[in-house]
Structure formats: C-alpha cells, structure tokens
Structure 1
Amino acid sequence: MSKQYYQLWILRIAIFLLAIPSGLVYSAEGQRHVVVVSLDGLAAFLVDDPNVPLPTIRRLARQGAIVDGGMIVSNPSVTWPNHTTLITGVRPEKHGVLANGVIVRGASGVPTVIDPRRDQSDLVRFPTLVDAAHAAGLSTAEINWPCTRGSTTLGDQFPDVPEALQHTTPRLRSELVELGLLEDETDASFRKLSSVGKDYVWTEAACHLIRERKPNLLLVHLLNVDSTHHAVGPQTAAGYTANAYADMCLARIVDAIDEAGIREQTTLIVVSDHGFARTPQALRPNVILRQAELLKVDAGKISEARVHVVPEGGIGLVYCTHPGEAQRDAEAFKDRFEGMEGVAEVILPQRYAEVGLQHPREYPQSPDAILVAKDGYAVSASADGDTFIASNTEAKTSLGTHGFLSTLPKMKAMCILSGANVRPGTKLETIENIDVAPTIAHLLAVDYPLADGHALKTALTR
C-alpha cells in the first residue's frame, strides 16, 4: 500500500464517521475501554507449564477467554512486524514491517541494513486501528509499542525506539520525572536501567495513564521476558523468574484499572508477539558466502556483498545486491544451502504467498530468498570463522531465539481476553493474530473494515 493509498483510507474513514449519527460515536470520555498488554516473548506453551508462577494470567484466563494452544503469529515471527499486525489486522505483506526497523537496500554491492530510527509513517504503510479509533473521537495512548514513533493519532506516547524519551510526549515525560519513575528526561539515564528496571518504568507509566487519563485504547509492551529468554532460553530458572515478574507487572495494571474506577467498562487483552525456542547452535551462511567470494569483510563487518544474509533469529533474509542478476543469485543460493546441516529449506519469492510476504519486485524491503533454520539452530550475521555450523557462543547468537516460521508450534503466542463483554470460561481454538485488531474495533464500536482477520465474537457477549 503506497503512502497516498494510506492517506486515501484515512480520508474514507473520516468521511464514514461524519455520516454516522453523533450519538453512535464514542467521545474521549466514552465508557468503553480496551487495554492491550503485550508480554514480549511469553510463549503460549508457558501458560500451561506448572513451573511458571502466573497467577494473574491464569486468573484472567479463567475469568475470561483464552486461545487454547496458542495464537498463530505472522512471518517473520519477530517483535515489530507482529506488534504491527496486532493493531492492523493484516500480515506484513500488507503493512510492510518485516524487521525491527526499515530494511534499506543500498547500491549495487552495498550490504542491506536495518534502520530502527524511523517514524511510523516510514515503517507502516497501512492505516492502523489506532488511526480509526482517533478518527472516531476516542482517546488513545501507547507505552513502548513498536512502530508508533511520530504518530499523529496517539494522545500519549513512550515509543519502542532508540532514544525513546526524545520521542515521548513532553507532558508524559515530565510527569514521569515528577513521579520519580525517571531520573531525568534524558535517554542517557533511561538507557542505564536494566531490562527489569525498564519494564517497571513502562508498567508504572501505563498505570499512571490509566488512573489519570483513562484512555479508551491503551497499548502496553513489556520486554524483560524476551531479553531473558534470549540470554538463557525459555523454561530456565531465570526465564521462569522473568515470566513471574511479567505477571506481577500485569497485576499492577489490573489494579490500576480498579483504582481508576473503570473495571466494569474495560476489556483487557493480554498477548505475546511470538514464542521462543532454545538455539544452542547457529548457522553462519555469511561465512560460506565469504569463502565463495560473494562478500567481503572489513574489521569484522561486511563491507561489500553480492549476496548476504540478514538474520531474523530462526530465519535469514537473503539479499542479492545486483538487481539484474538477483533471481539467478537467489537460485544459486538455494542450490548451495539446501540440504546442509541445520537448514530446513530455502524459500524463493514465488512461494512468498505461503508465508505472507511480498515478492521483492513488488516491495523492495522483501528479501530475494529466505533461509529457514531447523529447530535448535539460529541464523548468525557473522561472516568470520571457517565453519558453517558453530555454537551460539562462537556465532554470537542468542541461546534463545524466535523468528522461525510461524508454522513451528513453539512460535505460537499467548492470547487472553478478560473483563467487559467477555464470556467467562471461554476456550477458543487456535486463531491468528490478525484477529486481534478487529476484536478491539468491535469492543470499541469503531468501524475498521480494513483488517483481514475477524472479531472473536464467540468469546464476546455482544
């Protein structure tokens, strides 16, 4: 979707809303509220793991609805693409977010890079549910939600970007300093916090907004579980501790909803963006490409490349930098790597519809091929060394990883709905995360016809 098409859809939403009788449009002081809490990396399988203390999550599931067996996520199964799917109801092939940033192709021979320092308008090429809610006169806010920097439809912002405080709403930033949650208004002081410390600040910031502003739609994203699972893997002592802390943060948000006096009007949706797998071994495709003289390395970094691989955890995005020969180079890549240890398959663009991506002819950020690792292997960016297979330590990859194709059961995400308009004790069969945005739209009585998913009406009372 082009930027002009995006603007056209926004105009169509506005025209539609003007045609609705004013009594049917909820104002910022309306009585419907939805709070979405994303616990990054809290895999669906952890909800039923008896070693994980999750009293709040399990209570909310008993009192409301849970997607039994987990929610299918989008490809790539990484953070920014899936958080964007959650608020658009479409897969990356439409919304355009393929990584934790904008994928920038350089000139011929220049390696492709990922730039996270971009506004929402650069990252997301599709109108979001937030845009529709704002157009309907509802109040909106986000805490650490990806791909929202520079949004014009969020009343309060503390976005998930480098230099987060620089892009935080000034009013909110100063309030957090006054509350003692931030040392000062600089990113330097915020960066010094541990992942646990940052989750604490984000949680308390969300609680502050709930109590003081009572937004109709609030998006909250916590990261410590993801950080810990990357470092030590899921279902470890440290992982279980991180899971329990996330549950405690969620409990604080539930308490804030009570303190704000809006419990009876609030639906709480608790999700994760992807699952997790242990990856003690790694694939180093760039080593093989270096040995084949298809790329060059300078001071440990790829300086030139005809073909190179950008890792996304359990997959590698393959970029061929000579446009006229990209198809041939991608096919040669497939011939070279398929059948090697740890490689599940290599997917070429003619199969991208199967994984929800666009052909690179249609969207320049799309890769020219996708290297898919087997369970237990991560894909490394490293071009140093002599072997294709290495330990995660040697390859400088995480012991825990996501990013695998969403068909891997371990990648399934948690999804729980609780509170207003949710049928207690409901168990839903596996859904896709494209169903979350239309469900929120239904709960808020916001017209959002753009989503490919469907509202989870069997879990709702109206």
Structure 2
Amino acid sequence: MQIPLCLTLLCGILWTILAPIGLAGEVHDRHVIVICVDGLPAYLFGDKNAPMPNIRKLAANGVVAEGMVVANPAVTWPNHTSLMTGVWPERHGVLFNGVLERPGLGLPIKVNPRKDKLDLVQVPTVYDAIHQHGMKVAAINWPCTRNASSIDDDFPDVPDTFQFTTPRLIASMKQAGVVTDEDIEGFMKLSSPARDRVWTEAVCHVIRERKPELTLFHLLNVDSVHHQYGPRTNAGYSAVAYADSCVGDVIAAVDDAGIRDRTTILIVSDHGFIPVPKTLLPNVVLRQAGLLTVENGQAVTARVHVYPEGGIGMVYLTVPDRREEDRARVIELFRDRPEIAEILTPDDFPRFGLPLPGDHPQMADLVLVAKDGFGFNIRPTGDEFVINSETTVGMHGFLSTNPRMNATFVASGHRIRKGMSLGMIENRDVAPTIATLLSVPFETAEGRVLNEIFDGSAQSAE
C-alpha cells in the first residue's frame, strides 16, 4: 500500500522536531551526573577516618582510580575546565578563578571572577557538544559557566550568582520551596555548608523535575574547611562526611526520578590538599627590593608582582623595558631561599601544560614553586618573607607532579564495570569519557576515553 505524501511529510516533520529533544532514540535515555567535591584528595579515599559511605558504596559497585592527575595551576576553575574540555590550560586558557587583568605599566595585576564563560574558556566543552546533540544540560555551582548558552539550567559559581542563574530555574526552585527571596538576598552571607545545602537541594530538584542527560554539580565546603583547618583534621573529616551526605541526597533524587538504571554517576575532585604551617610573602621581598610600593596595606605600583595560587606564585614583570633586568633580579632574590623548591621559566611551562607568556596574556613570566609545608600569600606588608600560617593552614595549587595534588575519581552505575580498581588517570580523560557514555563525538579533547571502565555496553561515538 502506498503511503500518502502528506503522511510522509508529516512523519518527517515530527522526526525533525522530536529527535533533537530525545524522543527518537536510546541515546537520549541515558544520564550522566558529575559531582565534584572540591578539595577532596585521592589519598583520603583509603583513610578510614574519612567517613564517606555513599561514595565508597558507589566505588564498590563501580570503579575507583588510584588518583587523577590534575591540571596546573592546581586550583578550582582551571581544573573544572580541564574536566569539561579534555585539554590542559595551555589550550583552554583558564589559569585562575577568574580572568587576570593588567591595569597598566608598572601596576599590580588583579584577577576578576565576574566573567562569562566566553571570556574564560577558549575551546569547546563536552556540555557544548552534548547540548548541540539535543540533550539537556544542568550545572549547579559549576565554574566558568556564567551566561553559557549551552546550559539549560545554570546556577553558576560566580559572585552575584542569582543574577546569572537561569530565570526559569529560580522560578521553579522558589515554587518548590528550594529557595526563598530571603535566601537569594542573603546567599553569600550563608555559611559554606549552608550554601552547599542550597546547591544540593537545587541539583536534586533539577534531577527530579528536568532529568537532564548531563548534570554538573560542585560542592565547595570541603575545600573551604581544608583551607581553614587543614586536611586530616577533625574539621576536615566532618566536612568530608557532610559532602558524602550530599552525594547520598543526589543518589536519592536519581531514584525518585526513576532513572537510576540509566544513570552513570562520576565522583571527582579538582585537586588535592597539603598542610602548610608556614606562609610565604614574596611581595614583601619585592617591596623591600624597591620593585613594589604599598599604600594602605595594598600594592599600588609594581614593576614585579606575584599572584599566589597556593603552592605556586605567578610572577608578572609589568614594565617591558625593564623586563630582563627585573627577571634577573627576581631570580637573584628567590633562588637561594630554602623555602623555594624551584623557579620555573618559560622553557619549563610546556611540560606542566602551561601556556607561554607570548601566547597567552594572562600567563606569568616566571613561576615560584614552594616546598611542601609552605604556601604563598599576596600580602605585601610586614618585614618577613616567612610567617606562621594563620587563617589558611591548608593549600592546593602545588605542581601536579606532587602526588598529594592527585584528585579523586569514582565511576558507578549505567555501563560501568563493577568492583574495578584503576591506576592513575588524568582529569582531561573525564570529558571524552562523558561524551562516549552519551554517544556524542568530542574530537577536540586530548585526554583519552576510559574504555577500560565500561562493561561492554558503552561504545565510542561515531
């Protein structure tokens, strides 16, 4: 029997409409949830004092890595971006928790966190690719997503977060009682665990109501506590326990949504942590050498300025005509300091996945590397280079070659093998693995697909 032309055309129109929104094939009936517990070192997974029953249960029923090598600098935004792009910062361009700005010749540099995704990330992300294939993406407190057009429900990790949260998400959260106008008004005044609670309730709401194919969720309290009290302290262990309870809430939301059998959960972190009983003040040394001046406790001029990233100090030479002279002076001032492990020059940058200064305007001219037990601070006041740590007694940002910077990786659920231990992986392997789980091509990634974790039903995207 011949099918009428009008019916054929109608079927074609319906296919065009329905295929992108996931009603035409199995590929749109899969879900990946990535939960990043900021500041959760790989070494805590085997520490019995660190209570995380939900994460360990996921690992027991899935895959756990010995550790995950992180990007340099080993700080939050660069590593979240490597997790999503599958490349190191030399390609994706994110070097700070914001964008480094140079106000002018001889002036100190600063980092501005109030930037859009397009200002920050220079390459495609896996969520861009997934969205282009007609799937829904949600991101709760995920860095470098402000005004990202490929995220359907975005609650970004930026100052003034509700100003940039997707309006429909705010409306639905208010209607469901997840947040109130009072919560929104005073959000940044909430404690770190209270903010984690809001974000957890938000992601659970999104999972139940929207069922995105890709959900990104960032918990921050463990990092905050490890900075203030250090890892492997009672406070640190308590923070890990609370983060684990938030993971349990997300698992319950997946069950409530009825998608558990089709969901892969990835537990990751962005970096490890190291106790730092001593703090280094390189800008004090620069001030004493006449390379920097201070008014009201702040640097106001700086031929040389050091911006701290925890275990490394990014050195900026701000006057081109004096650059070589100032470079030599910086090396002279710091090379024999017993607290400094090494000074990296541009010749060293490629082996750490860092861009060259000539290729990237935010990149430093030199990098100071602290020894274990020491971390950098931007303060230019005082008389001593080395002081006792006060408000910050734990830091990350050390070079990724330091094993205590290794991050956590657990995979569990749909298409994941059970009871498998991995060796070391890289965090740039996560993005192409997500793409494979959702059968989406993602050719710009330089990390590898973790094919060994699949149970045989996950096939590479064609």
TM over 0.5: yes
Q: Within 5 Å, which residues of 2 pair with 1:17-416?
A: 27-28=21-22, 30-68=28-66, 70-184=67-181, 187-393=184-390, 398-416=392-410
| Inter-partner Cα distance in structure 1 for 2:19 and 2:227 | 44
How far is 1:339 from its partner?
Answer: 2.1
Match of 2:436 in 1: 442
How far is 1:185 from its partner?
Answer: 6.9
The change in CA–CA distance for 1:222 and 1:250 in structure 2 (over 3 A counts) is same
| Inter-partner Cα distance in structure 2 for 1:23 and 1:415 | 37
The change in CA–CA distance for 1:327 and 1:455 in structure 2 (over 3 A counts) is farther
In the alignment, residue 196 of structure 1 is paired with which amino acid? P
How far is 1:330 from its partner?
Answer: 2.3
- Sequence identity, in percent? 50
Per-residue CA deviation, residues 27-81 of structure 1 (Å, 9 max, x unaligned), is 445201100000000111111101111101111111000112x100000000000
What secondary structure is seen at the aligned counterpart in 2 of 1:366?
coil
| Inter-partner Cα distance in structure 1 for 2:290 and 2:271 | 36
| Inter-partner Cα distance in structure 2 for 1:436 and 1:43 | 17
| Higher gyration radius (CA) | 2
Does the 8 A contact of 1:174 with 1:185 survive in 2? no
Q: What stretches of structure 1 of length at least 5 have no aligned partner? A: 1-20
| Inter-partner Cα distance in structure 2 for 1:186 and 1:248 | 22
How far is 1:308 from its partner?
Answer: 1.1
| Inter-partner Cα distance in structure 2 for 1:238 and 1:181 | 27
Match of 2:10 in 1: none
Aligned residue pairs total 438
Q: What stretches of structure 2 of length at least 5 have no aligned partner? A: 1-14
Per-residue CA deviation, residues 418-462 of structure 1 (Å, 9 max, x unaligned), is 000000011111011000000000000011000010110000123
| Inter-partner Cα distance in structure 2 for 1:382 and 1:54 | 36
TM-score when scaled to structure 1? 0.92
Does the 8 A contact of 1:77 with 1:403 survive in 2? yes
Structure 2 residue corresponding to 1:451, chosen from 441, 445, 452? 445
| Inter-partner Cα distance in structure 2 for 1:431 and 1:151 | 28
In the alignment, residue 31 of structure 1 is paired with which amino acid? D
| Inter-partner Cα distance in structure 2 for 1:445 and 1:184 | 40
What secondary structure is seen at the aligned counterpart in 2 of 1:430?
strand
Structure 1 segments, 4+ long, off by >4 Å, are: 21-26
How far is 1:186 from its partner?
Answer: 6.9
Of stretches 86-95 and 350-359 in structure 1, the one that deviates more from structure 2 is: 350-359
The change in CA–CA distance for 1:326 and 1:188 in structure 2 (over 3 A counts) is farther
Does the 8 A contact of 1:225 with 1:239 survive in 2? yes
Does the 8 A contact of 1:313 with 1:379 survive in 2? yes
Match of 2:3 in 1: none
| Inter-partner Cα distance in structure 2 for 1:452 and 1:26 | 27
How far is 1:359 from its partner?
Answer: 1.1
| Inter-partner Cα distance in structure 2 for 1:451 and 1:243 | 31
TM-score when scaled to structure 2? 0.92
Residue 421 of structure 1 pairs with residue 415 of structure 2:
yes
The change in CA–CA distance for 1:25 and 1:44 in structure 2 (over 3 A counts) is farther
Structure 2 residue corresponding to 1:433, chosen from 423, 427, 431? 427
| Inter-partner Cα distance in structure 2 for 1:186 and 1:330 | 49
How far is 1:23 from its partner?
Answer: 12
Per-residue CA deviation, residues 160-189 of structure 1 (Å, 9 max, x unaligned), is 000001100111112222333323177531
Does the 8 A contact of 1:224 with 1:246 survive in 2? yes
What secondary structure is seen at the aligned counterpart in 1 of 2:154?
coil
| Inter-partner Cα distance in structure 2 for 1:407 and 1:26 | 42
In the alignment, residue 59 of structure 1 is paired with which amino acid? K
